[in-house]
A and B are shown apart, each in its own frame.
Chain A
Amino acid sequence: MAAEVRVPRMGQSVSDVVLVAWCAQPGSAVRAGDVVARVESDKSDIDVEAPVDGVLGPHQADEGDSCPVGAVLVRIVTAGEADGPTAPGISPKARRRAGELGVDTSALRGSGPDGLVTVADVEVAVATAGDGSTWQGRRVASRRTLSTVERATARRLAESWRTAPHFVQMVDVDLTEAASLRQQWRERASSLAAVTWTDLAVAALARALARHPEMNAAFDGDALVLFDEVNVGVAVDGVAGLTVPVVAGADRLSLAELSAAIAALADGDAGAPVASTATVSNLGALGIRAGTPVLNPPETVLLFVGAVEDRVVAVGGAPAVRTMATLSFAFDHRATSGAAAARFVATVRSLLERPTRNL
């Protein structure tokens, strides 16, 4: 049978290497000890040698590919093998089809017996080679036209990123009390049993905005426009893309009312036909701890809620397990300062950490 040239073991911690260069081409004769390929790990470079005399089969990886240790790089057909099983190659049907489709067969990997390139390999190569065009020097697989929502989102976020000097503050909040409250609400089947972390975050943000009116505002060239109502947008990742339906007058709603309104948004309700004055985005359910969010223009603040999780924290000099989350706030530095922002963040934090009194 053919001898296999495999990626050599290059140390305990190395699991993958990069194939730097082929030193022998398919079909060429090699002698045992000849270098057939050069690979590198993050620690070292190694020349991979032919273990036997023979003729090189098709390359099983391309230069620049990442290959796991032990993977077959190439097979060497040995001399006594001529009357043995079929050597790897390309089937006549595959060759003919490749000609029809204009596919370069030299780079194909065979899936047939003994690595034979079959017509299926050619057709897969065509299907995955894209539409044949290139875009900025890259081969194109396909081009998907963006939806109206996606286009609007892209335009607004790019504008936001370009025009508003962002800064992000992150704070850890202790949600142990809130968690226990939610537990009680559920156990008692209270009207608050369905309150989510997003609901609590929106409630805290809305109440903090009511206390810090200059955060419920927008930079407008030579003025800061303070808004008369607190309308909180809630980022929803839906089928149409990213949308931000709005809860109007969020600071005036009870937690139960707020929760019901947000639940309706999640069910597809378009929200109040008003513009938001601040936005909440919650990716905590996906395990994200913190982020550097982009403002929803022309707002001054956006709250990104991270994963709510049990963490070991120091309480009174001793380790304790507390329910914690990290909140990340993006601010528009044209509209506010770091210190003002920090005071606002502290308010949100204290609202969430003492929910019984504040929410």
Chain B
Amino acid sequence: MTRQLKYAHAIREALALELARDERVMVFGEDVGVNGGVWGALRGLHEEFGDRVFDTPIAENLIVGMAVGMAMRGLRPVAELQYSDFVFCAGDEVFLKAATWRYAHGGGVDLPLVVRMASGGSGFGPEHSQCTEAYLMHTPGIRVAVPSTPADAKGLMTAAIRSDDPVFVLEHKLLYPMTGPVPEGEHIVAFGQAVVRRTGDAVTIVAWQDMLRRSLAAAERLAADGIEVEVLDPVTLNPFDVESLVRSVEKTGACIVVEEAPLTLGVGAEIGALLMEHAFGHLDRPLVRLAIPDVPVPTAPHLVDAVVPSVDRVEAAVRRLVA
């Protein structure tokens, strides 16, 4: 059975099901317990599961460090960072401990931890609006999931909790209130399997989360003029589904990556490199990266509009590329 659920509630459902299924699962972070999380995604979990859903001090290095320790000792922690920007506050635990300790301990421990982070949604200013997936994707040893639909939010969260790897799940702030069909009961979305959200032959757009929504809206407009755009949602960035990307670009010969993050060395740069390596002979157009210019994310709405890829900008880029 499937019903309509908000993205935030789909996450809550995944956490509740896993808390009920496996007593090793622990959920914690700033205001996660009594308050139910600043994004309202966890409301009622503390009442239902008691001290397995608990508050932490405002200390991100502690939060992730605690998760690493709990995971090493056999628990399955789900930590929350209120904003994905705070991954840098927890940098030592994220990039040095979570990412490397299985290697450093000679494979002697698993690190089945999940870090949930509210991401993107520019307008919260330079310290609270970033999409940090490129930094995470750059780091060997951790998985990166970017759910774009309520169903994927539930399915990826479930898969993340059951994974023995450290998994970072980026939850997009602007998607929390969005509704969509979500399967009841156990629902798992496999990592490393991109989904074609719209089929076309003119150009492949790779986008996820809010940029996926904007790309689909642009594709809808372009279809009115007979330009059929293929829109690929990578679903997870590590592992990255190179095969689906290449299959799509072999068909279209062109690729536009739309991302809500700075241009330089962003996910689009990596995708461009992957295409060079795996699809060079199939490229019929230069790669286009639509991203935030290399500036801090602004706060003022008109400045946000000036830098974040918009539906108009995606549409114009496609028209220029395939004209």
Set of chain A residues within 8 Å of B321, measured between Cβ atoms: 113
**Do residues A118 and B286 form an inter-chain contact, with CB atoms below 8 A?**
no
Set of chain B residues within 8 Å of A118, measured between Cβ atoms: 253, 284-285
Given contacts A113-B321, A113-B323, A119-B253, contact A93 B286 (CB under 8 A): no
CA distance A92 to B286 in the complex (A): 10
Q: From residue 302 to 316 of chain B, which have CB atoms closer than 8 A to chain A?
A: none
**Do residues B323 and A91 form an inter-chain contact, with CB atoms below 8 A?**
no
Set of chain B residues within 8 Å of A126, measured between Cβ atoms: none
Q: From residue 102 to 124 of chain A, which have CB atoms closer than 8 A to chain B?
A: 112-113, 116, 118-120
CA distance A116 to B282 in the complex (A): 14
Check B21 for interface membership: any CB of A closer than 8 A: no
CA distance A342 to B281 in the complex (A): 74
**Do residues A93 and B323 form an inter-chain contact, with CB atoms below 8 A?**
no
CA distance A95 to B281 in the complex (A): 8
Check A96 for interface membership: any CB of B closer than 8 A: yes
Q: From residue 269 to 287 of chain B, which have CB atoms closer than 8 A to chain A?
A: 280-286
Check B320 for interface membership: any CB of A closer than 8 A: yes
Q: Identify 21 residue pairs between A and B in the complex whose beta-carbon atoms are under 8 Å apart, listed by A's number.
A: A91-B253, A91-B283, A91-B285, A92-B280, A92-B281, A92-B284, A93-B253, A93-B281, A95-B281, A96-B281, A96-B282, A113-B285, A113-B286, A113-B321, A113-B323, A116-B286, A118-B284, A118-B285, A119-B253, A119-B284, A120-B284
**Do residues B282 and A92 form an inter-chain contact, with CB atoms below 8 A?**
yes
Residue ranges of A at the interface with B (Cβ–Cβ < 8 Å)? 86, 91-96, 112-113, 116, 118-120
Set of chain A residues within 8 Å of B323, measured between Cβ atoms: 113
Cβ-defined partner of B320 (8 Å) among A91, A92, A113:
A113
Closest B residue by C-beta to A112 = B285
**Do residues B320 and A93 form an inter-chain contact, with CB atoms below 8 A?**
no
Closest B residue by C-beta to A96 = B281
In the assembled complex, how far is the CB of residue A113 from the closest CB belonging to chain B, in whole angstroms?
6
Q: Which 7 A-B pairs have the closest CB atoms?
A: A93-B284, A96-B281, A91-B284, A86-B286, A119-B284, A92-B283, A118-B284
CA distance A120 to B320 in the complex (A): 16
In the assembled complex, how far is the CB of residue B77 from the closest CB belonging to chain A, in whole angstroms?
46
Contacts A91-B284, A113-B286 supplied; 9 other A-B pairs, CB < 8 Å: A86-B286, A91-B253, A91-B286, A93-B281, A93-B284, A94-B284, A96-B281, A116-B285, A119-B253
CA distance A118 to B283 in the complex (A): 9
Set of chain A residues within 8 Å of B286, measured between Cβ atoms: 86, 91, 113, 116
Set of chain B residues within 8 Å of A112, measured between Cβ atoms: 284-285
In the assembled complex, how far is the CB of residue A2 from the closest CB belonging to chain B, in whole angstroms?
15
Set of chain B residues within 8 Å of A92, measured between Cβ atoms: 280-284
Closest A residue by C-beta to B276 = A92
CA distance A219 to B189 in the complex (A): 94
Set of chain B residues within 8 Å of A93, measured between Cβ atoms: 253, 281-284
Closest A residue by C-beta to B283 = A92
In the assembled complex, how far is the CB of residue A294 from the closest CB belonging to chain B, in whole angstroms?
49
Set of chain B residues within 8 Å of A95, measured between Cβ atoms: 281
CA distance A93 to B282 in the complex (A): 4
Q: From residue 137 to 166 of chain B, which have CB atoms closer than 8 A to chain A?
A: none
CA distance A86 to B280 in the complex (A): 16
CA distance A299 to B10 in the complex (A): 93
CA distance A95 to B280 in the complex (A): 11
Set of chain A residues within 8 Å of B282, measured between Cβ atoms: 92-93, 96
Set of chain A residues within 8 Å of B283, measured between Cβ atoms: 91-93
CA distance A233 to B285 in the complex (A): 61
CA distance A116 to B285 in the complex (A): 8
Looking at B280, B283, B321, B323, the one whose CB has the most chain A CB atoms below 10 A away is B283
Set of chain B residues within 8 Å of A116, measured between Cβ atoms: 285-286
CA distance A120 to B282 in the complex (A): 13
Set of chain A residues within 8 Å of B281, measured between Cβ atoms: 92-93, 95-96
Set of chain B residues within 8 Å of A96, measured between Cβ atoms: 281-282
Looking at B280, B282, B284, the one whose CB has the most chain A CB atoms below 10 A away is B284
CA distance A113 to B321 in the complex (A): 6
Set of chain B residues within 8 Å of A119, measured between Cβ atoms: 253, 284
In the assembled complex, how far is the CB of residue A232 from the closest CB belonging to chain B, in whole angstroms?
54
In the assembled complex, how far is the CB of residue B188 from the closest CB belonging to chain A, in whole angstroms?
37
In the assembled complex, how far is the CB of residue B251 from the closest CB belonging to chain A, in whole angstroms?
11
Closest B residue by C-beta to A121 = B284
Closest A residue by C-beta to B253 = A93
In the assembled complex, how far is the CB of residue A75 from the closest CB belonging to chain B, in whole angstroms?
16
CA distance A113 to B320 in the complex (A): 7
In the assembled complex, how far is the CB of residue A25 from the closest CB belonging to chain B, in whole angstroms?
24
Closest A residue by C-beta to B287 = A86
Set of chain A residues within 8 Å of B280, measured between Cβ atoms: 92
In the assembled complex, how far is the CB of residue A108 from the closest CB belonging to chain B, in whole angstroms?
13
Set of chain B residues within 8 Å of A120, measured between Cβ atoms: 284
In the assembled complex, how far is the CB of residue A111 from the closest CB belonging to chain B, in whole angstroms?
8
Set of chain A residues within 8 Å of B284, measured between Cβ atoms: 91-94, 112, 118-120
CA distance A119 to B254 in the complex (A): 11
Set of chain B residues within 8 Å of A91, measured between Cβ atoms: 253, 283-286
Q: From residue 105 to 147 of chain B, which have CB atoms closer than 8 A to chain A?
A: none
In the assembled complex, how far is the CB of residue B308 from the closest CB belonging to chain A, in whole angstroms?
22
In the assembled complex, how far is the CB of residue B76 from the closest CB belonging to chain A, in whole angstroms?
46
CA distance A93 to B252 in the complex (A): 10
Closest A residue by C-beta to B280 = A92
CA distance A93 to B279 in the complex (A): 9
CA distance A92 to B282 in the complex (A): 6
In the assembled complex, how far is the CB of residue A308 from the closest CB belonging to chain B, in whole angstroms?
46
In the assembled complex, how far is the CB of residue A89 from the closest CB belonging to chain B, in whole angstroms?
9
CA distance A96 to B284 in the complex (A): 10
CA distance A310 to B320 in the complex (A): 53
In the assembled complex, how far is the CB of residue B27 from the closest CB belonging to chain A, in whole angstroms?
48
CA distance A93 to B280 in the complex (A): 7
CA distance A96 to B281 in the complex (A): 6
In the assembled complex, how far is the CB of residue A92 from the closest CB belonging to chain B, in whole angstroms?
5
Q: From residue 247 to 270 of chain B, which have CB atoms closer than 8 A to chain A?
A: 253
Set of chain B residues within 8 Å of A86, measured between Cβ atoms: 286
In the assembled complex, how far is the CB of residue B223 from the closest CB belonging to chain A, in whole angstroms?
20
Set of chain B residues within 8 Å of A113, measured between Cβ atoms: 285-286, 320-321, 323
Looking at A86, A91, A118, A119, the one whose CB has the most chain B CB atoms below 10 A away is A91
